[in-house]
Amino acid sequence: MTAVEERHLRVLRSLYDAYGAALRSGKGGTQSSLLLRSLGVTDNKRRELLSESSIGASDLDLAVLSFLKDGGYIRESDHPGNYTLTARGIWEVECANDDSTIDNLISGLDQKYFDIFEGDSTLSDRECVILLTMAATERFRSSVLWICSTAM
């Protein structure tokens, strides 16, 4: 694959900044990486944000558009003639900005999806209410059965 030149990065950064601003205005987690933050929003919201941050083909140099599209850095959005970032495009910008390395990405994924055994193991209020309700229901059921058995 051909190296991304500065003129390509300018377009990618423009899309990245627009997408990042839209993503930060919503709820997308606290990670610095837009790739990781993107995982924190629903598919529909991500589609909406990517569509909002798209750029028209008429705003791009044809050679730059062709390079970015063929390289998988951008793709056509739901509006014909508008282009938006792909995960590869986001990764390219983050690598160029030294914001992301493979170690940072793996660490973020591990923290979000695999670090499920550490942390606070106390019950939430909702879980306490459910357990108390179950205990009270069982106690009531036992009392009713005992009363019924002694009455016979």
Query: How do the domains of the chain map onto residue ranges?
Result: 6-114, 123-152
pLDDT score recorded for residue 44: 93
Separation of first and last alpha carbons in the chain: 86
Helices (H), ranges, the chain:
6-25, 34-38, 43-52, 62-70, 87-96, 102-109, 125-151
Summarize pLDDT for 44-93 with one digit per residue, the tens.
Answer: 999 999 999 999 999 999 999 999 999 999 999 999 999 999 999 999 99
Summarize pLDDT for 83-113 with one digit per residue, the tens.
Answer: 999 999 999 998 888 765 788 888 888 888 7
Report the 10 Å Cβ neighbour count for 15.
24
The whole-angstrom separation of Cα 92 and Cα 78 is 23
**pTM check: above 0.85:** no
